[in-house]
Amino acid sequence: MYAILFDIDVSVLKQNYGESYPKAYDDIKELLKNYDFYQEQKGVYFSKTASKQETDNAIEALSKKDWFLLSVKKVQTFKIEDWNDFTPTIQEKMREVVFKISR
């Protein structure tokens, strides 16, 4: 499993993409989907099947977008060896707290 993380300077993005700059995030999402990455959070993408080379290819494809090159502050990739999603556990504990509070 690989991850791609990036941080974009929105003011620079707006200058280089134009007034429809929020669409840039859709463009990124669609481009990364071609490399089997899905969006986990705004600037965080995961792939359960992509190789290191495919991850590098995805970054190369992003780097062909001038507006991305000009506005991105940080881009990182890494391999996830062990993935644990604690969301269901946290949600169950939250329900328990809400139940206690509502009694």
| Sequence-distant (≥ 6) Cβ neighbours of residue 30 within 8 angstroms | none
Tens of pLDDT, residue by residue over 76-100, are 999 988 777 888 888 888 888 887 8
Pairing of the two strands 72-79 and 44-47:
unpaired
Count helices and strands in the chain by DSSP H and E runs:
5, 4
| pTM summary value | 0.79
**Tell me, which fold does domain 2-102 have in CATH?**
Alpha-Beta Plaits (3.30.70)
The amino acid sitting at 76 is: Q
| Percent residues over pLDDT 90 in the chain | 75
The pLDDT, as a whole number, for residue 60 is 97
